[in-house]
Chain A
Amino acid sequence: DAGVTQSPTHLIKTRGQQVTLRCSPKSGHDTVSWYQQALGQGPQFIFQYYEEEERQRGNFPDRFSGHQFPNYSSELNVNALLLGDSALYLCASSLGTGVATDTQYFGPGTRLTVL
């Protein structure tokens, strides 16, 4: 059973560009959450997708957007990149009960560097 997979592993962009990160959830999972981990900090919640809709959103600007496909895979898009967007982006999948006790299973992350 493949776990959560993310692509690409690493990415280098310049300020002002746009980036798309991809995530495939664990088999049987229908909910995908995205987190940003800046250096020296814990992961911060960006948003969660369930049934192709954004179910909840963290404190991130509208430059961060996402999408979930019918096969439950997901994309994270970031527009007008800033230097401060450099971080590790983690995707997590879970079953869509939406309760706080759901275990979220994480992928290895995509390292984004903005120059």
Chain B
Amino acid sequence: ILNVEQSPQSLHVQEGDSTNFTCSFPSSNFYALHWYRWETAKSPEALFVMTLNGDEKKKGRISATLNTKEGYSYLYIKGSQPEDSATYLCAFSGGTSYGKLTFGQGTILTVHP
């Protein structure tokens, strides 16, 4: 059974704070790590697909890093805004999975004005 763990489960920050959260995944048979942002009443939105150890991706104020050897990825948000409030999900994809995504339980971020 694959275990993908995210921490913390929830996070409250003030507008302007920078924040980060963690996704842990199995380091064996790794192929890709996906990050999604999911706002309430909307569809999950793809942020990044990461494959290489040491990979860093950036999209505006959001960035992510990947360590496949130890099995973790960090998502960073610089200068959080209220519109960043959402659930952030990571999902692991193994080499033989044909795109099956195994999700963590998500980190719920609330940014207070």
Contacts and interface: CB of A to CB of B under 8 A. Distances in A.
Interface of A: 3-4, 31, 33, 35, 40-45, 48, 50, 55-56, 58, 90, 92, 94, 98-109
Given A48-B100, A102-B99, A104-B101, A42 B44 contact: no
A90 B103 CA distance: 13
Contacts of B103: 35, 42-44
Contacts of B93: 100-101
Most buried by A among B89, B101, B106: B101
Contacts, number: 76
Contacts of A102: 99
Interface in B83-97: 89, 91, 93-95, 97
B105 A42 contact: yes
Given A3-B43, A100-B31, A108-B42, A48 B104 contact: no
B111 interface: no
A50 B34 CA distance: 21
A106 B42 CA distance: 10
Interface residues of B, number: 29
B93 to A, nearest CB: 4
Interface of B: 4, 6, 31-32, 34, 36, 41-46, 49, 51, 89, 91, 93-95, 97-106
A45 B102 contact: yes
Contacts of B41: 108
A106 B44 contact: yes
A40 B31 contact: no
Contact of B31 (A4, A101, A103, A104): A101
27 contacts: A3-B43, A31-B99, A33-B99, A35-B103, A42-B105, A42-B106, A43-B101, A44-B103, A48-B98, A50-B98, A90-B44, A92-B101, A94-B99, A98-B98, A100-B93, A100-B94, A100-B98, A100-B99, A101-B49, A101-B51, A101-B93, A103-B34, A103-B46, A104-B46, A104-B99, A105-B46, A106-B45
B39 to A, nearest CB: 11
Nearest to B50: A101
